[in-house]
Amino acid sequence: MKSFKFVFCALLGISILTFSSCGPKYTLEEKEDYTLVLNQGGATLGYAPASGVTLIENKGYAFKDLNKNGELDAYEDWRLPVDERIADLVVQMSVEQMAGLMLYSAHQAVPAGGRGPFGATYNGKAFAESGAAPSDLSDAQKKFLTDDNLRHVLVTSLQTPAVAAKWNNNMQTLVEGIGLGIPANTSSDPRHRTRSSAEFDLGSGGDISMWPASLGIAATFDPDSMKQFGEIASIEYRALGISTALSPQIDLATEPRWSRFSGTMGEDPNLATDMARAYVDGFQTSAGDHEILNGWGYHSVNAMVKHWPGGGPEEGGRDGHFGYGAYAVYPGNKLEDHLAPFTDGAFKLEGATSMASAVMPYYTISTDVDSKYGENVGNAYSKYIITDLLREKYGYDGVVCSDWGITNDVQSVDEFAGKSWGVETMSVSEKHYKAIDAGIDQFGGNNDMGPVLEAYNMGVAEHGEEYMKSRFELSATRLLRNIFRVGLFENAYLDPAATEQIVGNPEYMKAGYEAQLKSVVMLKNSNQSLPIKERLKVYMPQRYIPAASNWFGMRSEERWEDAFNQGIVSKYFEVVESPGEADFALLGIQSPDGGVGYDATDLEKGGNGYVPITLQYGPYKAEHARETSLAGGSPFEDFTNRSYKDKTNTASNLPDLALVVKTRKEMGDKAVIVVINVSKPMVFSEIESAANAILVHMGVQDQALMDLLTGAAEPSALLPFQMPANMKTVEEQMEDVPRDMTPYTDSDGNIYDFAFGLNWSGTIEDARVSKYK
């Protein structure tokens, strides 16, 4: 790496520090594949000479000539206010460029495999056969960036932090050289989840810091912990080239059977609101030298809060990714509770960025919420939900981006394809036009600008060219604001060496580990079974995992696996092979996997396809379910009643129950400690009496569990949701109402209610409980 410095005001030996106005006020620093421009007292710029972009000098300062016209345009002038720069850029954009800006890519892996739903090619070949570097752009990426003017990219797996940085630079170099030089805005779904088997070493780092899921951080009942996560995660994101987070998921989890429960912040409106505010403040706020203006800057990550107006109250717990879960229902008339994490949390920040910069509506039809137009359509298609409620009533003027794939076609209620609920029979272009008319700015998962342009032409035919161009300019303005405010127009490039030092550094790993310790809830501790002395003998039977298929139809075969990393456990206890040798047993299981609420084989038996989702392990018959569903109807069904009353279901991980029962019998009077990774509430009556102690967590490293079991750390977390007494109370609760189940009471008299948790002294009764319960 070489550094070059201009000589200022050499004439008469005048000092360059005192009279720098006599010449250039910037220095250049060449990197491997880009150049840094350091303006004295001004913005640091980054550009790639390979893109064809050159510098313009004005009053001694340097600016990038992004549109290559040899003049300093307002949008290129980093001294001007963002809104003035955006106004100048928008009027220079063609309809095609604005249409491309309104796209958000399908999922992109770096590098991409050659098969599967996220596969891609490199020079026409699968990556493994292509000779391409991991940081090279795929054929599809080059196409949608060049031909479709797409500038918002969703990344999934990143091979390494350094590869991510190099890939970012390759992408930014490409788009910098196209048209107006608009940089790419890369996004990610949450990527800080733990690996249970990973070992924490105070002096070492990792690929990225590991934290509990949002539900786990919510269990700390400490918004400051959530904010700290956001502050650290945003710095790591920016070091990876990620400037938008497709998070947080702030749906109020009032329906305990919902499959996306684990991504939420729990079921209590007040707790979820405070956690949502802290998360967004942490992600969006830059401080000190990293701030550009009003809290925005080079450490800021746009937070796209989801899913407006709340995806939690889905009838029967069925999820909106499928037609069988298209309907959210409000039997308790609690829509306002579901809006609170948005309107009182993410839209009322304590930090200077004021409100979350983007919102994603959910796939669902918010049944009978539209009191103005009377439409029951997916939220992204509802003018009432987007324009009247979000924009006008709550004054939101940020980006509204659809969830992924809403405009794609679908052929049945159980096909994982398009999610255009309520408008399934429209053409793809008509769906785009309806969503734009509803107030949507951007289409998630769409790489093709063709349908957006067709929607534009439909609008021109109905309203005229002036109206439709103005509508596109409005969305373009919102979208550009989120690119400008985080500094991408100044410098979108990364130093891979710096990225490797930042992402997963020891300080961040330590903070994540400490949050894990604070997120584990102790529900039971009979006769002070915990903590356990180190070096005692422990028996850890393996779990049996039945064969299964995921949403994409990818099948995993049956297998036996260790519940914990034996290498980590052996540093605390002596691991033995049989119950007879052991001082205690340690079991690791998952909460019941009670299905998705739909089974095509039920149709073959003459049923309607709808079955119960169970929160218990053993066979369950839905005797207390509704006779008639609250909502229903699909072009692919000839009925509207989706009731599953009196049908049966059994959790797919029933072997977990058998394991607990068997181990209890084998251990006799010796202690059985059960650790449960919970993804949603569960019925404890089947297993609680067999356990001397129970810990529940939402994704932590095994080492954190060992530190808690041995007393190196004390449990302090609280339940951010209720654990139901039985399935009867689950069926009788209302999908939209918080905390309306009868909670489980265990054999020690503990009530597994919201805000319950134990420490070594007993039930926790502190300021957190007083505030939220």
* 154-196 pLDDT tens trace: 999 999 999 999 999 999 999 999 999 999 999 999 999 888 7
Mean pLDDT (the chain, rounded) = 95
Q: How many residues does the chain have?
A: 773
Q: pLDDT tens digit string along 638-657?
A: 999 999 999 999 999 999 99
Distance from C-alpha of 516 to C-alpha of 605, rounded to nearest angstrom: 46
- Going by pLDDT thresholds of 50, 70 and 90, the confidence category of residue 548 is confident
Q: Which of 667, 699, 695, 683 is closest to 760 using CA atoms?
A: 695
Distance from C-alpha of 592 to C-alpha of 683, rounded to nearest angstrom: 9
* Average pLDDT for 445-459: 98
- Going by pLDDT thresholds of 50, 70 and 90, the confidence category of residue 207 is confident
- Going by pLDDT thresholds of 50, 70 and 90, the confidence category of residue 12 is very low
pLDDT of residue 101: 98
Distance from C-alpha of 772 to C-alpha of 720, rounded to nearest angstrom: 10
Least confident of 3-17, 224-238, 680-694: 3-17
pLDDT of residue 13: 31
Percent of the chain with pLDDT over 70: 96
Residue 299 neighbours by CB distance under 10 Å? 22
DSSP letter assigned to residue 648: E
With 60 as the cut, is the pLDDT of residue 4 above it? Answer: no
Q: pLDDT tens digit string along 299-327?
A: 999 999 999 999 999 999 999 999 999 99
pLDDT of residue 202: 56
- Going by pLDDT thresholds of 50, 70 and 90, the confidence category of residue 457 is very high
pLDDT of residue 201: 63
pLDDT of residue 22: 57
Answer for the pair 662, 226: CB distance below 8 angstroms, yes or no: no
pLDDT of residue 118: 75
Kindly state the tokens that stand for 593: 């996997």
pLDDT of residue 2: 31
Distance from C-alpha of 282 to C-alpha of 278, rounded to nearest angstrom: 6
Kindly state the tokens that stand for 433: 């036009």
Q: pLDDT tens digit string along 430-440?
A: 999 999 999 99
pLDDT of residue 571: 97
With 50 as the cut, is the pLDDT of residue 14 above it? Answer: no
Give the three-state DSSP class for 710. coil
Report which of residues 552 and 7 the model is more confident about. Answer: 552
pLDDT of residue 553: 74
Please report which residue ranges of 306-444 form alpha helices under DSSP H.
335-340, 383, 428-438
With 80 as the cut, is the pLDDT of residue 398 above it? Answer: yes
DSSP letter assigned to residue 252: -
- Going by pLDDT thresholds of 50, 70 and 90, the confidence category of residue 565 is very high
pLDDT of residue 671: 98
pLDDT of residue 196: 78
Distances (CA, A) of 650 to 550, 657, 670: 18, 11, 30
pLDDT of residue 205: 63
pLDDT of residue 193: 85
Least confident of 9-13, 24-28, 695-699: 9-13
List phi, psi (to 5°) of 730: -65, -45
Q: Which residues fall within 8 angstroms of residue 661, CB to CB, at 6 or more apart? A: 687, 690
Q: Where are the beta strands (DSSP E) in 606-751?
A: 620-621, 648-649, 671-677, 693-697
With 60 as the cut, is the pLDDT of residue 21 above it? Answer: no
Q: pLDDT tens digit string along 672-717?
A: 999 999 999 999 999 999 999 999 999 999 999 999 999 999 999 9
Question: What 3 state SS string does 553-607 have?
Answer: CCEECCEEECCCCHHHHCCCCEEECCHHHCCEEEEEEECCCCCCCECHHHHHCCC
Q: pLDDT tens digit string along 61-102?
A: 999 999 999 999 999 999 999 999 999 999 999 999 999 999
Q: pLDDT tens digit string along 467-521?
A: 999 999 999 999 999 999 999 999 999 999 999 999 999 999 999 999 999 999 9
pLDDT of residue 321: 97
Q: What angle do CA 317, 318, 322 make, to 5 degrees?
A: 160
Q: pLDDT tens digit string along 32-48?
A: 999 999 999 999 999 99
With 80 as the cut, is the pLDDT of residue 271 above it? Answer: yes
Distance from C-alpha of 484 to C-alpha of 461, rounded to nearest angstrom: 33
